[in-house]
Amino acid sequence: MSEPAYLPFLQQTLTYFDRPHEGPALAPVSSPAAWKRRDLDGAPWRVRLSPDEAAELRRAVDSWTTRSRPLSAMTKADFPLPTLAARIRIWRDEVATGRGLQVVSGVPVECWSVEESSAFFWGLGQHLGRPGAQNRKGDLLGHVRDTGADKTDRYVRQYMTTQDIPFHCDAADMVGLLCLRKAESGGLSRIASSVSVYNELLRRRPDLAPRLFEPFMLDTRDEAEANGLKALPIPPCRYAGGVLRTFWHSEYFRTAQRHAGVRLTDAERELLDLYDEISCSPEFYIDMELEPGDVQLLSNHTVIHARTDYKDHPEDERKRHLLRLWITV
C-alpha cells in the first residue's frame, strides 16, 4: 500500500519540531525574514493571478471533482498546474527562505462551492509541499468560522469564535488561509517577524533571551490528552546555520500551569510578557484584510500570526469563512 499524499497529525507535528539547534543566538540575527512594518511598504509580497492562471485553476478543480474521490486520495499529479507550478515554487521559497509571507489574490472562489474551493486549496498544498492533518481526528482542512463556541472559555479553540486571537504559531512549516467570505467588520490578519521580535528582545534584555532556547511546558489542550499527554516540553527557539526558527504560543505556555507540577518563575513570566509586548508594538506588525479569493501563506518558523476580533454578518450564508491549510515543506 502506498503512503498517503498527506502527513498524519502526529508525524507532521514531530517533523515541525525537529528543528536543528547549535546554541542560543547571542547576536542579532540577519535574515530576509527579519522585517518590520516599514520594510514591507511596496514589497512584492502580494501578487494577483492573471485570467489565464485563474482559468487553469478552474480546469484543475473541474478535473478533480468529476472523479468523486476524497481529498485524502489527491496527489500532485491529480492536480496539474502546467503554467502555475513554477510560480508556486517561487511563492514557496519566499515563505520558506525569504520574508516568510506571500499573499496571492484572484482565486476564483466566487465560481466554486465550498467543496470545490477545498479541492483547489488541497491541490495547491500538494504543489507547495506535503499537506497534513490539523488534529488527531484527521481533519485535512480547518474551517475558520464562528461556530457559536463559548468565547469566555479560556480553553476553547479561539478560531471557532469571533474573539481576537493572540500571536502564535501552528505546528507545521507553513500555514495557509483561503478567504471565502470576510466579516462585516474586523477579523484582520495580524503578522509579525519572530526574527525581528527576538532581535529586539535580545537588545533590551540579553539576560533573558537565552531562556527562549530552553523548553517551556506547552499545554496540549485536547490534542494529546487522550494519550495522557497534558503538557509537553517545547523550546520556543532553535538556532543553527545562522537561521532562527521560533514556535510561539505564550497563551499555551501560560495555561500549562493548570497541570500538576508546572509553574512559571517570575523571570519566565517576565520573558513571556516582554515577547508579547514587542510583538504587539505597531512598528513590528502589519494588519491585512483578506478579501474573498485571497490566499495568505506564512512560515511558522519565522512569522507569528494573530487575528483581531470581528463582527459577523447576521445571515448565515454571508458569515466569515476561511479555509486553513498546513504544509510540511
Query: Looking at residue 226, what is its pLDDT?
Result: 46
For residue 89, pLDDT beyond 60: yes
Q: What is the pLDDT of residues 136-173, one digit of tens each?
A: 889 999 999 977 765 566 656 667 687 889 999 999 99
The candidate with the shortest Cα–Cα distance to 293, out of 108, 167, 119, 73, is 108
Report how far Cα 175 is from the mean position of its chain's Cα atoms.
Answer: 3
For residue 1, pLDDT beyond 60: no
Mean pLDDT for the chain overall: 93
What's the chain look like in SS3?
CCCCCCECHHHHHHHHHCCCCCCCCCCCCCCCCCCCHHHHCCCCCEEECCHHHHHHHHHHHHHHHCCCCCHHHCCHHHCCCCCHHHHHHHHHHHHHHCCCEEEEECCCHHHCCHHHHHHHHHHHHHHHCEEECCCCCCCCCEEECCCCCCCCCCCCCHHHCCCCEEEECCCCCEEEEEEEECCCEECCEEEEEHHHHHHHHHHHCCCCHHHHHCCEEEECCCCCHHHCCCEEEECCEEEECCEEEECCCHHHHHHHHHCCCCCCCHHHHHHHHHHHHHHCCCCCEEEECCCCCCEEEEECCCEEEEECCEECCCCHHHCCEEEEEEEEC
CATH top class, domain 9-144+161-328:
alpha beta
Query: Looking at residue 153, what is its pLDDT?
Result: 62
What is the rounded distance in angstroms from the CA atom of residue 191 to the CA atom of residue 10? 26
Question: Stretch 206-224: mean pLDDT, rounded?
Answer: 90
Q: Which of 124-138, 210-224, 263-277, 281-295 has the lowest mean pLDDT?
A: 210-224
Question: Stretch 75-89: mean pLDDT, rounded?
Answer: 96
State residue 221 phi and psi, 5-degree precision: 55, -125
Q: What is the pLDDT of residues 171-197, one digit of tens each?
A: 999 999 999 999 999 999 999 999 999
Taken in order 172, 174, 180, 183, the sign of the CA dihedral is positive
For residue 219, pLDDT beyond 80: yes
Q: Which of 155-159, 195-199, 241-245, 274-278 has the lowest mean pLDDT?
A: 155-159
Q: Which residue has the higher pLDDT, 148 or 62?
A: 62
Query: Looking at residue 132, what is its pLDDT?
Result: 96
For residue 225, pLDDT beyond 80: no
Q: What is the pLDDT of residues 25-34, one digit of tens each?
A: 999 999 999 9
Question: Stretch 9-19: mean pLDDT, rounded?
Answer: 96
Question: Stretch 83-99: mean pLDDT, rounded?
Answer: 97
Q: Which of 45-59, 213-227, 234-248, 272-286 has the lowest mean pLDDT?
A: 213-227
Residue 57 has which C-alpha cell?
485553476
Query: Looking at residue 294, what is its pLDDT?
Result: 98
Pairing state between β 101-105 and 295-299: antiparallel
